[in-house]
Amino acid sequence: MLKEIFIGLSTNQMLTAAAKKYGLKLGAQNVVAGTNVEETIESIRELNALGISCTVDNLGEFVFEREEALKAKDSILEVIEAIHANGVDAHISLKPTQIGLDIDYDFCYENLKEIVAAASKYDMHINLDMEDYGHVQPSYDLLETLLKEYSNVGTVIQSYFYRAQEDIEKHKDLRLRIVKGAYKEPAEYAYQTREEIDANFIELIEYHLLNGKFTSIATHDHHIINHVIDFVEEHGISRDKFEFQMLYGFRKDMQVDLAKKGYNFCTYVPFGDDWYGYFMRRLAERPQNLNLVVKQVFNK
């Protein structure tokens, strides 16, 4: 019930605009690295010092105005330059709807191509985050066209989709992030129970660890992480073939511990003023994250 409420709130246009205007509130500063590039580079430096690399997301999604999409593209280009200039260990994650997928496919492709070309000069990876079901196929289409010219791109496989096995087989030669899936999807396309999603998640992770190029296992679920640790040991899979990923601000002790144990670890670092939808989805996933809000209200 709470999950549905927060997912519903995450796409509310009026609240999104208000959140942009009033800055990081409601405890969002615990899970968003900053509102500008300088603060974000500082957060990346701190994580790098702990042996953790970063994937940086300039927050924003479901953009319907060209001007806003171009502004988002320019911000991402600025982050690429800042990562390079500061010599920090980081790459980029982006959402196709942020740079125009809901406006015009070709317009989005041109924006994306400019970003991938800029990053490829520095041998920097670009990850295409995956959004809700309606955007999945167009996002794979963007990826496939890009791959004709560039090799510094990868994407995400969402385990709750029935189509995930087919998608992973098609893209096994890429660096892939495998996740459970964050949006509310109908039974027509997606598994609905935790058991089914977890079982498919494990199957996809194992498939890509055995057959794929490089696997990013993105989860806060210690059951899955422990399973992966046993699986790679059992199958002699070397540590340079995979990494664990978690979101900024979540299970910090476990992030540091895994890095200390010598596993590649990458933290997803979101930043910017368009934090509202991202924050609401985190509350939907784990209502205990409401603690962040409560703490913020009482620590004024």
Task: Name the residue nearer to ligand FAD (CB basis): 24 or 156.
Answer: 156
Question: For residue 85, with 0-12 CB atoms within 10 Å meaning exposed, 13-18 middle and 19 or more buried, which class applies?
Answer: exposed
- In whole angstroms, the minimum distance from the beta carbon of 190 to ligand FAD comes to 11
Cβ proximity to ligand FAD: between 24 and 54 the closer is 54
Give the shortest CB-23-to-ligand FAD separation in angstroms.
Answer: 24
* Positions that interact with ligand FAD (CB under 6 A): 129-130, 156, 158, 179-183, 218-221, 245-247, 250-251, 268, 285-286
- Nearest distance from C-beta of residue 43 to ligand FAD, angstroms: 15
Question: Residue 68 or residue 221: which is nearer to ligand FAD going by CB?
Answer: 221
Crossing angle for the helix pair 133-146 and 105-120, nearest 10 degrees?
A: 50
From the list 255, 151, 268, the residue with the least C-alpha distance to 213 is 151
**Candidates 57, 129, 132, 274; catalytic one:** 129
Q: Which of 66/295 has CB closer to ligand FAD?
A: 295
Altogether, the residues listed in the chain come to a count of: 300
- Closest distance of CB 282 from ligand FAD, Å: 8
Quick check: helix, strand or coil at residue 28?
helix
DSSP assignment of 241-284, as one string?
GEEEEEETTSSHHHHHHHHHTT--EEEEEEESS--HHHHHHHHH
The DSSP-derived string for 1-15 is -HHHHHHHHHT-HHH
CB of 166 to ligand FAD, least distance (A): 17
CA distance 281 to 59: 13
Residue 129 annotated among the catalytic residues of the structure = yes
Q: How many whole angstroms from its chain centre is CA 46?
A: 20
Secondary structure class of 178 (helix, strand, coil): strand
Q: Exactly one of 57, 132, 177, 198 is catalytic; which is it?
A: 177
Q: Closer to ligand FAD at the Cβ: 191 or 268?
A: 268
Is 198 a catalytic site residue? no
Q: Point out the residues that are catalytic.
A: 129, 177
